[in-house]
């Protein structure tokens, strides 16, 4: 039997149907005319490995942490300005 070759776009779309849209492997296999084994292989090939996923999440958390620290610093400065001006008015 001749082995079929599939375009990368086709494989990625099949992967999206399984992972992002939540279709079952058997449904996608029947609809696309692809073997179940091929679909499982594509899921393995296109899924990020745990280390890459962890590193991406860690990078996102660090970025959010920096944003929150900057926001906190701005809030502290605004608070100091407000209480500084009210403090001088209150003492008059």
Q: Tell me: the pLDDT tens digits for 5-59? A: 889 999 999 999 998 888 999 999 999 999 999 999 998 888 888 888 888 889 9
Other residues' Cβ atoms within 10 Å of the Cβ of residue 46: 15
39 contacts 28 by C-beta, under 8 angstroms: yes
Q: For residues 1 and 80, give the distance between their C-alpha atoms in angstroms, rounded to a whole number.
A: 77
Per-residue pLDDT at 1 exceeds 70: no
Give pTM, 2 decimals: 0.50
pLDDT reported for residue 76: 95
Q: What are the tokens at 74? A: 């701005």
Spatial neighbors of 1 by CB under 8 A, at least 6 apart, are: none
């Amino acid at each position: 039997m001749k082995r079929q070759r599939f375009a990368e776009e086709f494989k990625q779309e099949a992967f999206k149907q399984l992972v992002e849209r939540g279709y079952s492997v058997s449904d996608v296999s029947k609809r696309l005319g692809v073997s179940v084994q091929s679909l499982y292989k594509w899921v393995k090939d296109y899924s990020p490995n745990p280390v890459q996923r962890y590193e991406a999440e860690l990078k996102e958390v660090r970025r959010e942490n920096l944003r929150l620290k900057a926001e906190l610093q701005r809030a502290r400065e605004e608070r100091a300005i407000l209480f500084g001006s009210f403090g001088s008015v209150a003492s008059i």
